[in-house]
């Protein structure tokens, strides 16, 4: 049978959960060819051996390059017209794949498994995800139900257009989602339940790194979609502060101060940075197309 579906799983030290996941995937009742690709991202345990014995095609990085780098490796190697991306830690249920594919067949280019309320997540991460979703919805003008979910189905040819934009770290879901919106492709969401990690001690996310990642994702969302929409309100706010301060000094001291001049200049610089970034973003997507 022709391979129409590729399931790409980035994995690092997931020997505990990977066997059960692959076994369930290869027994899904599809009427066409399916390949399971495990990208072993520099694991120090038996992840690669266990995955290969379970029946997956294994591609090994000689050292850890990051989750995003593993995604790109898997996307380049995939032979299917459609690619499913999912985590190796047991949070994503293979039984949800047919629902993602059914949604894709309705004419969408990207279908994201949106985690329902009650899915496994810490309070801090849950709040961060809600903020991401609201901010990204503001930037795109579309309701985004789950910006950072790694469980998604996508048309392979369109996903590969943006490989050069994807980071090597954990924020590839954010980048790919915003890139699809920016390019005018159709994006949909399918509710899923994310379970508890099979091996919770093997989490690669840390509080400090999460905090830094939170800030980086916010800027990435803005700069990837429409930088001016992010920078213009900031510029306007700084301008208004300068204007209010000028009015205060004019009434109390009868003069224009250096602080007011600094605020007006800063406002102009922020606006110009946003304007230039907008043009660079447009050129970047034009080059990808």
Per-residue pLDDT at 216? 72
Q: What is the pLDDT of residue 43?
A: 93
User: In whole angstroms, what is the distance from residue 133 CA to residue 159 CA?
Assistant: 21
The pLDDT, as a whole number, for residue 120 is 55
**Is the distance from CB of 192 to CB of 236 less than 8 angstroms?**
no
Total Cβ atoms within 10 A of residue 134: 13
Residue 14 makes CB contacts below 8 A (sequence gap 6+) with: 43, 47, 88, 89, 199, 202
78 vs 5: CA distance, rounded Å = 8
Question: CA–CA separation, 126 vs 269, rounded Å?
Answer: 35
- Using CA atoms, how far residue 106 sits from 17, 78, 189, in Å, is 32, 22, 12
DSSP for residue 100: H
Q: pLDDT by residue for the chain (289 residues), tens digit each?
A: 456 899 999 999 999 999 999 999 998 988 888 999 999 999 999 999 999 999 999 999 999 999 999 999 999 999 999 999 999 988 899 999 999 999 999 999 999 999 887 665 566 667 777 887 888 888 888 888 888 889 999 999 999 998 988 888 777 888 888 889 888 899 999 999 887 666 555 555 555 666 676 667 767 767 777 788 888 999 999 999 999 999 999 888 888 889 999 999 999 999 999 899 888 877 766 665 5
Q: b/e per residue, 60-79, with b = 16+ CB within 10 A?
A: bbeebbbbbbbbbbbbeebe
Q: Within a 10 A sphere around the Cβ of 253, how many other Cβ atoms?
A: 9
Q: What is the pLDDT of residue 1?
A: 47
CA distance 17 to 54: 11
Q: Per DSSP, which regions of 175-221 are E strands?
A: 187-192
* CB 34, CB 57: distance < 8 Å: no
User: pTM to 2 decimals?
Assistant: 0.79
Token pair, residue 269, equals 């610089």
CB neighbours of 182 closer than 8 A, spacing ≥ 6?
A: 224, 225, 226, 281, 285
Q: Counting Cβ atoms within 10 Å, is residue 185 exposed (0-12), middle (13-18) or buried (19+)?
A: middle
Q: What distances in angstroms separate CA 246 from CA 169, 175, 213, 216, one per listed residue?
A: 45, 41, 37, 34
Tell the burial category of 219 from Cβ atoms under 10 Å away from its Cβ (0-12, 13-18, 19+): exposed
Query: E-assigned strands of 42-109?
Result: 57-61, 82-85
Give the residue among 150, 129, 147 at the shortest CA–CA distance from 214: 129
Q: CATH number for the 3-211 domain, one of 3.40.50.12280, 3.40.50.2300, 3.40.50.300, 3.90.550.10?
A: 3.90.550.10
């Amino acid at each position: 049978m022709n391979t129409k579906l590729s399931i790409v799983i980035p994995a690092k030290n997931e020997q505990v959960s990977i066997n059960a996941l692959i076994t369930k995937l290869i027994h899904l009742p599809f009427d066409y060819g399916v390949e399971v690709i495990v990208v072993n991202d520099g694991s120090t345990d038996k992840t690669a051996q266990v995955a290969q014995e379970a029946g997956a095609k294994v591609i090994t990085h000689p050292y850890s390059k990051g989750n995003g780098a593993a995604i790109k490796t898997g996307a380049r190697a995939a032979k299917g017209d459609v690619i499913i991306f999912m985590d190796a830690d047991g949070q994503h249920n293979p039984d949800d794949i047919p629902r993602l594919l059914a949604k894709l067949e309705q004419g969408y280019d990207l279908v994201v498994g949106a985690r329902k309320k009650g899915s496994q997540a810490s309070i801090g991460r849950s709040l961060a995800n809600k903020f991401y979703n609201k901010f990204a919805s503001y930037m795109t003008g579309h309701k985004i139900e789950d910006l950072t979910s790694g469980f998604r189905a996508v048309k392979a040819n369109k996903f590969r257009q943006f490989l050069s934009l994807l980071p090597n770290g954990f924020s590839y879901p954010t980048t790919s989602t915003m890139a699809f919106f920016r390019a005018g492709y159709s994006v949909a969401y399918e509710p899923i339940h994310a379970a508890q990690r099979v091996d919770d001690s093997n989490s690669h996310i840390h509080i400090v790194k999460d905090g830094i990642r939170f800030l980086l994702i916010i800027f990435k969302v803005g700069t990837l979609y429409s930088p001016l929409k992010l920078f213009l309100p900031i510029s306007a706010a700084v301008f208004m502060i300068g204007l209010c301060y000028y009015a205060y000094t004019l009434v109390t001291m009868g003069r224009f101060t250096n602080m007011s001049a600094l605020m007006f200049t800063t406002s102009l610089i922020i606006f110009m940075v946003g304007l230039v970034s907008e043009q660079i973003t447009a050129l970047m997507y034009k080059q990808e197309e």
